[in-house]
Structure 1
Amino acid sequence: MERPITLGEYIVENQKDFAYAKGELTALLSSIKLAGKVVNEKINKAGLANIIGKLDKENVQGEIQAKLDIIANDVFVDTLRNRGEICGLASEEMESFISFDETINLDSKYVVLIDPLDGSSNIDVNVTVGTIFSIYRRISPVGSPVTLEDFLQPGINQIAAGYLIYGSSTILVYTVGNGVNGFTFNPGVGSFFLSHPNIKFPDTAEIYSVNEGNYEHFPKGIKKFIKWAQLTDNLQNTPLTARYTGSLVADIHRNMLLGGIYLYPQGSLSPNGKLRLLYEANPIAFITEQAGGKAVDGKNRILEILPKELHQRSPLICGSKKLVDRVENFIDKFPEGC
């Protein structure tokens, strides 16, 4: 039996596949891994430490924040600032980006965009949540403070992206543009070990994930796809199974392993979509494409959208390529609204 490979060992062994940094990527992913461990511990002890529940304030998107939203955000900000691998960070939980102006940070070439605790509304009922992160090479000159331009880059410019999923086990999944790999945390030794090498969407698809409570507000093309998915007369002559948790990371992770599609389309309740382009759609789209899938907003490739603001929203339809193609066909055939 072969000795399991740790995340750190895997990154070092595969540095040749990373087009930009060598040691910098290893250190940056190590920092994200470390912060993820801390957040994982906070989540596991949330009930005992009295840090479940909501706060009496909203984030920049007007959403009520959970206590763990703030804790997770602070953990990632402090860890990434103190270890010096990035020069700036933007978070779904903060109105503006942070420029790390310490000398060691200003010399860094990279910025991070992060959703510190995706699916936090599920915390109080013990449903899987996660962290989503995205890494870009800065545009502004090295040695100077970062600017908004460093963060408003199209997703195709990502040099790495990933997520941590905090569930029955804690898993870190990431890509640097040469495939997708997953590492499961072993709390007994405190390390992540390679458990899901070279993840690919299966050829067959089993699942569709959408909040059907919003069905009446969806565009007609999306409604037609949902009805098609429920019939036996589809790609596999068997109905797809509906699975939706309200936690993007959980739904994407399951669909990538089992085969399926995730939909959060625009609609009368969310004219511009609901998910954040920079913190959710772009990193998930990068991972999806690297796993052989497809990610669109209904008309455009997600990774080619040019962002105009930090908290820009976007529809997201991603997953098994054949299913995404089918959704686009329905949208083209039924272009009218609800």
Structure 2
Amino acid sequence: MEAGLTAYSSGASRHIVLTGPRAAIRNCASFQNRSQLNNNLKSSSFYGESLRIVSNSSSQRISRAAIRHTLTTKCEIGDSLEEFLTKATPDKNLIRLLVCMGEALRTISFKVKTASCGGTACVNSFGDEQLAVDMVANKLLFEALKYSHVCKYACSEEVPELQDMEGPTEGGFSVAFDPLDGSSIVDTNFTVGTIFGVWPGDKLIGVRGREQVAAAMGIYGPRTTYIIAIKDISGTHEFLLLDEGKWQHVKDTTSIGEGKLFSPGNLRATVDNPNYDKLINYYLREKYTLRYTGGMVPDVNQIIVKEKGIFTNVSSPGAKAKLRLLFEVAPLGYLIEKAGGYSSDGKQSVLDKTVETLDERAQVAYGSKNEIIRFEETLYGSSRLKTGEPVGAAA
């Protein structure tokens, strides 16, 4: 399996090809010249896999003028990840980070599919991994961010402390991620996924979800997909992992319509939260279709793919909020709102909540406008969406 990665340098396009199904990114930084590139690659390896360079011919080299032109070109279905990102944003550092994360997701997909799980530990079918698969994913993502050379700080749900990735503050990013959401259902072969949000600069405390410059999720199911939303282009965009290891743009979502589909999380809260109980009974009485897997990533993704429905995870005195604002709620809220949907904690968009602590929890609903209005009115008696308040990630 081979996957190409464009190394963006001054006016030229080169490709780093990672060989072997277990390969992942070793160095996504831009290089100043060809000799430096080759010198870096000579000793580069990642989990024992070597890298080799494939250069475009001179006729294929992209001039600065051509790059400027592509930034005004419409993103198209069928584009590779690199082609899409080059058209979607002029921020080369953001492109580099998202490409590096895509390589990590590709490798995590392979690890998930080949892990043999027993009890609390998972080992690779070849016997070369002794870590639980969520910790393997955690390690891969931290390494991808470090090798991007554009990430200043990173923090994960597994390691909820800021880690210095040695990237720049000016022009760099801070990234929060859940390496493997749904890891407890890996052994049942249910769909699981990765979630991450990207903020500019060097802060993950005191920020709001609306300040993200990108958010994404990787989904490891019958297909492996990479769902991306970025600041410079409307919509949420789906990329499919092909057999040859490349990401291909396969779907855009720009609106979430109405439809009777619901995914109710934390149902134990209905015992001592009568308003949540009332909402769930409404869905049942109105014959909504239940689509709940126990994994937040596939349950939220179906709203984007089906372009309808609602996901809820509500707290109560006896069933406290468990979803983390920084690692799960805010990044998925960004994806939903960029797709034309809405999010709510009951009173406001989750993108307007300020992250006070790395471990802050929140209740949440994602869905269409009318479903979020119903959610807010049922839980709290009124909805901000009926007052003309601006909503959406671009508001």
TM-score of the superposed pair, with normalisation by structure 1: 0.82
CA distance in 1 between partners of 2:112 and 2:273 (Å) = 37
Higher share of residues assigned strand: 2
Q: Cα deviation per residue 1:236-272 (whole Å; 9 max; x = unaligned)?
A: xxx211121111110011122221111111113333x
Q: Does 1:31 align with 2:103?
A: no
Which letter does structure 1 place at the counterpart of 2:185? N
**8 Å Cα contact 1:152-1:310 kept in structure 2:** no
> What residue is the counterpart of 1:210 in the other structure?
264
* Aligned pairs for 1:37-48 within 5 A: 37-47=106-116
Between 310-319 and 205-214, report the one with greater CA deviation.
Answer: 205-214
CA distance in 2 between partners of 1:134 and 1:3 (Å) = 24
> What residue is the counterpart of 2:33 in the other structure?
none
* Aligned pairs for 1:287-326 within 5 A: 287-326=335-374
User: Structure 2 vs 1, CA of residues 52 and 151 (structure 1 numbering), >3 Å: closer, same or farther?
Assistant: farther
**8 Å Cα contact 1:100-1:106 kept in structure 2:** no
**8 Å Cα contact 2:253-2:305 kept in structure 1:** no
User: Structure 2 vs 1, CA of residues 260 and 93 (structure 1 numbering), >3 Å: closer, same or farther?
Assistant: same
Match of 2:236 among 180, 189, 193: 180
Structure 1 residues not aligned, in runs of 5+: 17-21, 57-65, 139-145, 233-238
Same amino acid, percent of matched pairs = 26
Match of 1:328 among 364, 373, 376: 376
Cα deviation, residue 184, structure 1? 0.6
Structure 2 residues not aligned, in runs of 5+: 1-75, 123-130, 383-395
> What residue is the counterpart of 2:141 in the other structure?
76
> What residue is the counterpart of 1:189 in the other structure?
244
Cα deviation, residue 294, structure 1? 1.0
- Tell me the secondary structure at the aligned position of residue 116 of structure 1: strand
* Aligned pairs for 1:270-289 within 5 A: 270-271=319-320, 273-289=321-337
**8 Å Cα contact 2:194-2:219 kept in structure 1:** yes
User: Structure 2 vs 1, CA of residues 118 and 52 (structure 1 numbering), >3 Å: closer, same or farther?
Assistant: farther
Cα deviation, residue 212, structure 1? 6.4
User: Structure 2 vs 1, CA of residues 13 and 212 (structure 1 numbering), >3 Å: closer, same or farther?
Assistant: closer
Q: Which of the two has higher C-alpha Rg?
A: 2
Q: Does 1:168 align with 2:222?
A: yes
> What residue is the counterpart of 2:312 in the other structure?
263
CA distance in 2 between partners of 1:100 and 1:36 (Å) = 18
> What residue is the counterpart of 1:240 in the other structure?
288
> What residue is the counterpart of 2:302 in the other structure?
254
Q: Using CA pairs below 8 Å that are at least 6 residues apart, which structure has the higher relative contact order?
A: 1
- Tell me the secondary structure at the aligned position of residue 333 of structure 2: helix
**8 Å Cα contact 1:221-1:333 kept in structure 2:** no
Match of 1:230 among 281, 284, 295: 284
- Tell me the secondary structure at the aligned position of residue 200 of structure 1: coil
Cα RMSD for the two superposed structures: 2.1
- Tell me the secondary structure at the aligned position of residue 292 of structure 1: coil
Cα deviation, residue 82, structure 1? 2.0
Which letter does structure 1 place at the counterpart of 2:301? H
Q: Does 1:155 align with 2:229?
A: no
Runs of 4 or more, structure 1, over 3 Å off, are 104-108, 149-152, 215-218
**8 Å Cα contact 1:73-1:116 kept in structure 2:** yes
Q: Cα deviation per residue 1:131-165 (whole Å; 9 max; x = unaligned)?
A: 00100011xxxxxxx5xx44441111111101011
Which letter does structure 1 place at the counterpart of 2:120? K
